[in-house]
Chain A
Amino acid sequence: MRDLPDSLSTALGLVAGLDARLLDIVALSLRVSLAAVILSAMLALPLGALLAVGNFPGRRTLTVIVNGLMGLPAVVVGLMVYLLLSRAGPLGSLGLLFTPAAMVVAQAVLVTPLLAALTRQTVADAWREYQEQLNSLRATTRQATATLLWDTRYSLFTVLLAGFGRAIAEVGAVMIVGGNIDGVTRVMTTTIALETSKGDLPLALALGMILLALVLAINAMAYVTGAWAQRRFG
């Protein structure tokens, strides 16, 4: 085991030298998490809007459940998706286990409650303001929902960024369903966990720095988007 200054300088060298192995891992992380957020958004945005605007029995119960699932432990999601995709599982025939696709599914499951709950909150706030006017203009529920999603698009973009941040920083679910196979399903978080336990600190540190920078950049982007939209649209 090397000492910290040594590891740190090696790590910086990896980042600065755009080490090929490092870039592959970062690229896979970005691809998987981006796909997961897109997949999740297709379900979570309509679901969140429906919970905000809809008027159907069980809406409150569903809202409480979705809010509660925001804190879903990643390893539990990993286990559930593993059971679904394992050879004996209901979706085993798809052969997705230990592929990036399985990791996309797991992260999508993980962030969907988060995206749906934040979308519901955002859309509900706008709905409270718009409701009477839209009813007065005789908007149908479908038209009102579309209007609200469009009008809150900048807030919803920051919601998606929050989902992406959660997905890319998560380790438990992708570790279980991806298997952390070198060159195939090894992403930043799983690599950090593995290399650290092996005592190979430079790669872990390099990835840690990149991950931290990414998460900070995502939050900065969310902040800037929000401030810009506030200034531009009020």
Chain B
Amino acid sequence: MHNIFPLALNGTGFAPNGVPVLLDVTLRIEGGARTVILGPNGAGKSALMRLMHGLLQPTAGRLIWSVGESPHRAQCMVFQRPVMLRRSALANVAYGLKLAGVPYARRNREALAALERVGLAHLADRPARVLSGGEQQRVALARAWALDPRILFLDEPTASLDPAAARAVEKVIVDIHGAGTSIVMSTHNLGQARRLADEIIFLHAGRVTEHTPATEFFNRPRSIEAQSFLEGEIP
């Protein structure tokens, strides 16, 4: 697959019905890293990722991939609450492959391999919607991973999970990154950001106030908003 990076946002804004959600966002995603979007609730984290993924269209400014057109097949997204079709876990993963045009003969094999990589091969035949929240999220990750995307967007993927399930999901995210997929993930969990982030995009009230390497962000946050966000951390 061609290199799709960088993704550049140029004065990008999003204001549905005139309500500003994102204002004048300018940043570049170079690819290869684990990028964590941090910020308080309502800062626009979800909207920013949906814009990058193409689920929302900017109302101002531009969003440019190096390949021109938005590379649909090269990106996936996993949502806070996993959307499981009323089918088996395996069929959920195979469904993504089917939409991507993978021939029937290969689908189940590749889907099973993806479930194996997230440690759920033993649940392949179980109806996906009766699995636990953490298992469902890993099925969603397997569905994305099976498509071998260049970039994976994750919208607060562990927000509704208990710590053990969250750790299992974090491990899968690290593995997906290790296999060569760029990660862009939102969270408001600072511990998770410390564990996973190579670089931080800090959002506050719809504006990007910082886009810096993670170590720098956590040691010397430059913006006042990020400083107070870090100080408000519950140990």
A residues sitting closer than 8 Å to B (CB atoms) are 129-130, 132-133, 135-139, 143, 147, 151-152, 229, 232-234
Beyond A151-B86, A232-B127, whether A133 also contacts B79 by CB under 8 A is yes
Query: Given contacts A130-B85, A136-B53, A136-B55, could you give 7 more A-B pairs where the C-beta distance is less than 8 Å?
Result: A129-B83, A137-B96, A139-B99, A152-B86, A232-B127, A233-B86, A233-B129
B87 on interface, CB distance cutoff 8 Å: yes
Mostly, the A contact residues are helix
CB-defined contacts of A234 to chain B, threshold 8 Å: 84, 86, 127-130
CB-defined contacts of B95 to chain A, threshold 8 Å: 137, 147
Shortest distance from the beta carbon of A137 to any chain B beta carbon, whole Å: 5
Q: Lowest 10 CB-CB distances: which A-B pairs, in order? A: A234-B129, A133-B83, A233-B86, A151-B86, A136-B77, A234-B130, A137-B99, A233-B127, A138-B72, A139-B99
CB-defined contacts of B76 to chain A, threshold 8 Å: 136-137
Shortest distance from the beta carbon of B90 to any chain A beta carbon, whole Å: 14
B residues sitting closer than 8 Å to A (CB atoms) are 53, 55, 72-73, 76-77, 79, 83-87, 95-96, 99-100, 127-130
In the complex, A233 Cα to B129 Cα: how many Å?
A: 6
Shortest distance from the beta carbon of A153 to any chain B beta carbon, whole Å: 9
The number of residue pairs between A and B whose CB atoms lie closer than 8 Å in the complex comes to 43
Mostly, the B contact residues are mixed
Q: Are A147 and B83 in contact (CB under 8 A)?
A: no
Shortest distance from the beta carbon of A119 to any chain B beta carbon, whole Å: 16
In the complex, A229 Cα to B130 Cα: how many Å?
A: 11
Shortest distance from the beta carbon of A148 to any chain B beta carbon, whole Å: 10
CB-defined contacts of B79 to chain A, threshold 8 Å: 132-133, 136
Q: What are 25 contact pairs spanning A and B, CB under 8 A?
A: A129-B83, A130-B83, A132-B55, A132-B83, A133-B83, A136-B53, A136-B55, A136-B76, A137-B76, A137-B99, A138-B73, A139-B99, A147-B85, A151-B85, A151-B86, A151-B87, A229-B86, A232-B127, A233-B87, A233-B129, A234-B84, A234-B86, A234-B127, A234-B128, A234-B129
In the complex, A137 Cα to B140 Cα: how many Å?
A: 12
CB-defined contacts of A233 to chain B, threshold 8 Å: 86-87, 127, 129-130
In the complex, A229 Cα to B127 Cα: how many Å?
A: 11
Residue in chain B with minimal CB distance to A137: B99
In the complex, A229 Cα to B86 Cα: how many Å?
A: 9
Shortest distance from the beta carbon of B74 to any chain A beta carbon, whole Å: 11
Residue in chain B with minimal CB distance to A232: B127
CB-defined contacts of B99 to chain A, threshold 8 Å: 137-139, 143
In the complex, A136 Cα to B77 Cα: how many Å?
A: 6
Residue in chain A with minimal CB distance to B53: A136
CB-defined contacts of B130 to chain A, threshold 8 Å: 233-234
Shortest distance from the beta carbon of B101 to any chain A beta carbon, whole Å: 10
Shortest distance from the beta carbon of A127 to any chain B beta carbon, whole Å: 11
In the complex, A232 Cα to B130 Cα: how many Å?
A: 8
Shortest distance from the beta carbon of B83 to any chain A beta carbon, whole Å: 4
CB-defined contacts of A137 to chain B, threshold 8 Å: 76, 95-96, 99-100
In the complex, A94 Cα to B79 Cα: how many Å?
A: 56
Q: Are B127 and A135 in contact (CB under 8 A)?
A: no
Q: Which of B83, B96, B129 has the most CB of A within 10 A?
A: B83
CB-defined contacts of A151 to chain B, threshold 8 Å: 85-87
Shortest distance from the beta carbon of B33 to any chain A beta carbon, whole Å: 22
Q: Which of B79, B85, B86, B87 has the most CB of A within 10 A?
A: B86
CB-defined contacts of B129 to chain A, threshold 8 Å: 233-234
In the complex, A213 Cα to B85 Cα: how many Å?
A: 36
CB-defined contacts of A152 to chain B, threshold 8 Å: 86
Residue in chain B with minimal CB distance to A229: B86
Residue in chain B with minimal CB distance to A234: B129
CB-defined contacts of B84 to chain A, threshold 8 Å: 234
Residue in chain A with minimal CB distance to B128: A234
CB-defined contacts of B53 to chain A, threshold 8 Å: 136
Q: Are B55 and A135 in contact (CB under 8 A)?
A: yes
